[in-house]
Structure 1
Amino acid sequence: MALDLTSGARTGSTGRPAPGAHTLRHRRRRERLRTIGFLSPWLVGFTVFFGYPLVATVYFSFMHYNQIKQPEFVGLRNWSYVFTQMPLFGPALWNTVWLVVVMVALRVVFGIGVGLLVTKLKSGVGFFRTAFYVPYLAPPVAATVAFVFLLNPATGPVNEVLGAIGLDGPNWFNDPDWSKPSLVMLSLWGIGDLMVIFMAALLDVPKEQYEAAELDGAGPLARFRYVTWPNITPIVMFAVVTGVVQTMQYYTQALVAGKLASGVTIGPGTVIQPGYPDHSTITVPQLVYQLGFQNFNTGAACVLSLVLFAIAMAVTMLLMRRRSGLLSAED
């Protein structure tokens, strides 16, 4: 038996690999097959529900396709139409970005605040947990209908209370300047999901660190900055990234609120034109639906979908950089 110094494998007198090398390769092959077998459910799901739709979206973005006739290659005509000729693309993109920045930031801050409040309570913890979480369980359409009723500028209870104390309530969903803030208020009302996540993170912070900070004379703000925040940073990152992805797909609440505020009755056969008032609530997902399923312009709808995907990926990659301020070198 001789040792081949170039390959590191034992060889026989004829220069061929020894039986042990063949057994090692066979074992590694079995391990790869076993790993692929365990990964196969994810691989199938990824291919069917993400890989193929993404490739198809890119393909149809260069096609003229009305879902009836065969696709016809048109080059960059769909891209040119979306970026230069579609009048609602600019307002929809601005509204979507505004909601991503404002809504996600306020939901994270509000979720941390509610989580801190509930964890510090001495009594009635179960009641307040339930009270803050129940609104999240409401279906989006039902919650939006209730919120539009509460914020009705003429007969809503909120403006009546404001009028009783001498304040003039805004027009809320009927005012272009207040429509998006009203949607943000609706999202803050259903903050129960983030509250539960942040409560779990806050309760997991080691109490010894709080005790050491108190012995060093740290006040509440210092304890939050130097103890609480470093421990919940990964959860904050999770909340921000998932919030960005969800808000980039914001559709139902804005559409229902705009239609109810406009006074149009939604029924069978009703063609919904989103964006009331003055295109202040129109979002890119609404344009995707309008182009793809109402106007049957599949190519332009695919272009908008790819724009959303690119923006979401860029923001996510920016947030997940270690130097972004949310991830440290140890995470």
Structure 2
Amino acid sequence: MKESTTTSLPMPLATRPKPKIKRWESPIAGYLFISPWLIGFLGLTLYPIVQSLYYSFTDFSLLEEPNWVGFKNYNQILTSDDRFIQAVKVTFLYVVASTPIKLIAALFVAILLAKSIKGMSAYRTAIYFPSLIGGSIAVSILWKNIFGKEGFINNILAMFGIEGTGWVTNPDTALWTLILLVGWQFGSAMVIFLAGLKQIPIDLYEASSVDGAGKMRQFFNITLPMLSPTLYFNTVMGIIGAFQMFTPAMIITNGGPANSTYIYSLYLYERAFSRLQMGYASGLAWIMLLIIVASTALIFLTSKYWVFYENEGGKSR
């Protein structure tokens, strides 16, 4: 007598027990972890941005309630504000001059520090250190003294019989002292360049050496193209940072002499906290935001001609 066999049918989906969600699989845990950043972003970033946009259409003065004035602030800024035009000119000159100097210095030092030498980590730390304190008030005061009439630079020139000028009090040289200060603070860009240099295959240099390529040819045909995405990133970040520079101009020159260092952020600060014209200053801030966005967009649109990425096929665009 054969035993009867029974086949177990699959349990209907409706009657299957629902899988239990583990304790840390709940999305609530994720929101709890990001809540410190989220609260800070909403309260300290997003809300002030929206509030400043509203104030830019008012005559808010910190002492009185804001009254809606529409595009009056923007119209006055763009049509009848001579100090705005001066600030824009000085700022663009500063950005155009300081950004390449900073990038060239950062790339040059990064190439030197990319070599395998004993104690190189100490050299990298020492060179990066100025970028940590470069934006401080103490360094600005020190820089002012170095380039003053009786400062260190003029003392060195006097040893060679050269009479120096007051570098921070001369309208022809004051802005360049600020540009040199930014060029001295190349540590962040240098670290990023150094990371990019480490990603370049050494085989490319060995193959080019076999073909007879020298150091200069290797730099322009291998290093720069392979480093172009890093250069693109550093350029964008450098331009944004240059537009926002404030402390050195405030401490070293305070916009002088003869408004030669009267940069945009200094003018915005004056309107906001010296004249208490917060509505007008908010309009200036939003115009600056649009200028930065336009400058960044220009770099992005031109990047296809000089930035190269290795795609899946091994070719670069």
| TM-score bucket of the superposed structures, by smaller chain | 0.7 to 0.9
5+ residue gaps, structure 1: 1-18, 20-29, 259-273
After TM superposition, the structure 1 stretch with the greater mean CA deviation from structure 2, 137-146 or 115-124, is 115-124
- The AA in structure 2 aligned to 1:58 is L
In the other structure, the counterpart of 1:186 is 181
Aligned-pair RMSD on alpha carbons?
2.8
Q: How far apart, in 1, do the equivalents of 2:186 and 2:256 lie?
A: 25
SS in 2 for 1:176: coil
- Are residue 147 (structure 1) and residue 143 (structure 2) matched? yes
Contact 2:98 2:179 in 1 (8 A): yes
Q: How far apart, in 2, do the equivalents of 1:142 and 1:46 lie?
A: 30
Q: How far apart, in 2, do the equivalents of 1:44 and 1:120 lie?
A: 44
Contact 1:255 1:281 in 2 (8 A): no
In the other structure, the counterpart of 2:208 is 213
Shift in Å, 1:166: 3.0
In the other structure, the counterpart of 2:298 is 318
Contact 2:57 2:279 in 1 (8 A): yes
Q: How far apart, in 1, do the equivalents of 2:34 and 2:306 lie?
A: 30
Against the structure 1 CA distance between its residues 320 and 216, is the aligned structure 2 distance closer, same or farther, given a 3 Å change threshold?
A: same
Against the structure 1 CA distance between its residues 74 and 240, is the aligned structure 2 distance closer, same or farther, given a 3 Å change threshold?
A: same
SS in 2 for 1:109: helix
SS in 2 for 1:174: coil
- Are residue 99 (structure 1) and residue 79 (structure 2) matched? no
Shift in Å, 1:55: 2.6
- The AA in structure 2 aligned to 1:144 is S
Q: How far apart, in 2, do the equivalents of 1:31 and 1:314 lie?
A: 42
Q: How far apart, in 2, do the equivalents of 1:323 and 1:102 lie?
A: 20
SS in 1 for 2:114: helix
5+ residue gaps, structure 2: 1-13, 15-24, 312-317
Match of 1:307 among 268, 281, 287: 287
Contact 1:198 1:235 in 2 (8 A): yes
- The AA in structure 1 aligned to 2:148 is N
Match of 2:273 among 287, 293, 298: 293
- The AA in structure 2 aligned to 1:236 is L
Q: How far apart, in 1, do the equivalents of 2:222 and 2:26 lie?
A: 43
- The AA in structure 1 aligned to 2:298 is L
- The AA in structure 1 aligned to 2:139 is A
TM-score by length of 2: 0.81
In the other structure, the counterpart of 2:262 is 282
Shift in Å, 1:40: 7.6
Q: How far apart, in 2, do the equivalents of 1:200 and 1:292 lie?
A: 41
- Are residue 119 (structure 1) and residue 99 (structure 2) matched? no
- The AA in structure 1 aligned to 2:222 is V
TM-score by length of 1: 0.78
After TM superposition, the structure 1 stretch with the greater mean CA deviation from structure 2, 162-171 or 71-80, is 162-171
- The AA in structure 1 aligned to 2:283 is V
Against the structure 1 CA distance between its residues 318 and 45, is the aligned structure 2 distance closer, same or farther, given a 3 Å change threshold?
A: farther
After TM superposition, the structure 1 stretch with the greater mean CA deviation from structure 2, 174-183 or 196-205, is 196-205
Per-residue Cα deviation, 1:132-173 (whole angstroms, up to 9, x for no partner) = 2222232521111111111112x1121121122233323211
Contact 1:170 1:178 in 2 (8 A): no
Q: How far apart, in 2, do the equivalents of 1:74 and 1:277 lie?
A: 35
After TM superposition, the structure 1 stretch with the greater mean CA deviation from structure 2, 203-212 or 114-123, is 114-123
SS in 2 for 1:173: coil
Contact 1:322 1:328 in 2 (8 A): no
After TM superposition, the structure 1 stretch with the greater mean CA deviation from structure 2, 164-173 or 88-97, is 164-173
Contact 2:91 2:264 in 1 (8 A): yes
Match of 2:63 among 56, 65, 68: 68
- The AA in structure 1 aligned to 2:271 is L
Q: How far apart, in 1, do the equivalents of 2:126 and 2:85 lie?
A: 39
Shift in Å, 1:44: 5.8
In the other structure, the counterpart of 1:22 is none
Shift in Å, 1:198: 1.4
Shift in Å, 1:50: 4.1
Match of 1:52 among 47, 57, 60: 47
In the other structure, the counterpart of 1:82 is 77
Pairs aligned (count): 289
Q: How far apart, in 2, do the equivalents of 1:131 and 1:33 lie?
A: 44
Shift in Å, 1:311: 0.7
SS in 2 for 1:232: helix
